[in-house]
Amino acid sequence: MKTVLITGAGIGIGRSTALAFGAAGYHVIVTDILEAEGSKVAIEIVAGGGSADFHSLDVRSTERCNEVVALVEKQYGAIDCLVNNAGIAHKIPLSELTDAKWDHTFDIDLKGMMRLARAVAPAMKAKKSGSMICMSSIMGVAYGWDDHIHYSAAKSGVVGLVRGLAVELGAHGIRVNGIAPGYIRTAQALSVEHSVGPEALEAAAAYIPLKRIGEPDDIADVVVFLASQGARYLTGQVITVDGGLLVGRY
151 is annotated as an active-site residue:
yes
Contact 18, 8 (CB under 8 A): no
Contact 2, 79 (CB under 8 A): no
Strand extents, DSSP E, the chain:
3-6, 27-32, 51-56, 81-84, 130-135, 174-181, 238-241
Q: How many CA atoms are closer than 13 Å to the CA of 28, on its beta-carbon side?
A: 36
**Alpha carbons 131 and 28: distance in angstroms, whole number:** 14
In the three-class reduction of DSSP (H, G, I as helix; E, B as strand; rest coil), residue 180 is classed as strand
**Alpha carbons 39 and 108: distance in angstroms, whole number:** 21
Catalytic residue chosen out of the listed positions 26, 76, 143, 151: 151
**Alpha carbons 95 and 120: distance in angstroms, whole number:** 38
Q: Is 66 exposed, middle or buried (0-12, 13-18, 19+ CB in 10 A)?
A: middle
**Alpha carbons 2 and 79: distance in angstroms, whole number:** 8
C-alpha closest to that of 153 among 220, 222, 94: 94
- 13 DSSP 8-state letter: H
Active site residues: 151
